[in-house]
Amino acid sequence: MRRPYYPAGVTSDERTPAASGLRVGFVPGVTLTKWRRIWAERFPRTPLEVLDVAQSDQRSALDAGLVDLCFVRLPLPTDELHAIRLYDEVPVVVVPKDHPLAGHEDVALAGLASEPAIDPSLADAFDRVAWGAGVLRVPHAVARSHSRRDLTYRPIRDAEPTTIALAWLVDNPNPLIDEFVGIVRGRTANSSRTAADRAAKAGAEPQPASSPQPPKQPRRPAAPRRPARGVRRPRKH
């Protein structure tokens, strides 16, 4: 479901044609709170539209133009894509709270070999775990977002982690992509690259960084004042 996000004080009626279209998708388990907040601070009149994307649809959402960028879970075919690796996720297994594995701090893959595995792409995957149909292997962030009283999860100590990346099509012409990528990468609003890019887009020459000022020279001591006319200097004895 597509959810337009407007910064505080901005309504849909205030959208300008140039600012109406940055659409960002994200797979389950990704939290955009920090980046949305920074976007609202830097571009208060440019709405950011976010879209929940199923992991199985993450590449097709980009190819079909449903989103300009997408927080994806690797592996993903990266032909004709730019992709920035962001962070790794801890794999966990979700089990009922009364399951024998719930008594361990973590588990090994060998301990899951005899357990029926539930397909994480199923809409009712967590319900199936609660029914006792099997165990569910998902990234920690996904398990945490589906937290419920009758289930628990444990880290899988010898499983390979999954990786979250930010991806977008190479030929996507939306100029706001660079701005969002800069925010995700931690680029500040006053960074030289951001200032130069904005100046170039506006057709203005970027202002060079101010060079350090040379140290001030010490003042020369003032010359002694000459006595006023008609005033005699005291004689030296």
Amino acid at 200: A
Which carries the bigger pLDDT value, residue 16 or residue 172?
172
Which carries the bigger pLDDT value, residue 229 or residue 83?
83
**What's the pLDDT tens digit per position in 106-158?**
999 999 999 999 999 999 999 999 999 999 999 999 999 999 999 999 999 99
CA distance 22 to 11: 16
Spatial CB neighbours of 110, under 8 Å, sequence gap ≥ 6? none
**Mean pLDDT, the chain, integer:** 83
pLDDT reported for residue 191: 72
Confidence band of 78 (pLDDT split at 50, 70, 90):
confident
**What's the pLDDT tens digit per position in 38-48?**
999 999 999 99
pLDDT reported for residue 209: 44
- CB neighbours of residue 132 within 10 Å: 12
pLDDT for residue 223 is more than 80: no
Domains and CATH numbers, the chain: 2-88+162-201 (3.40.190.10), 91-155 (3.40.190.10)
Confidence band of 188 (pLDDT split at 50, 70, 90):
confident
CA distance 154 to 139: 11
Per the DSSP assignment, residues forming a β-bridge with 138 are 92
Burial of 162 (0-12, 13-18, 19+ CB in 10 A): buried
Which carries the bigger pLDDT value, residue 231 or residue 5?
231
**What's the pLDDT tens digit per position in 198-210?**
555 555 444 544 4
Mean local confidence (pLDDT), 146-173: 96
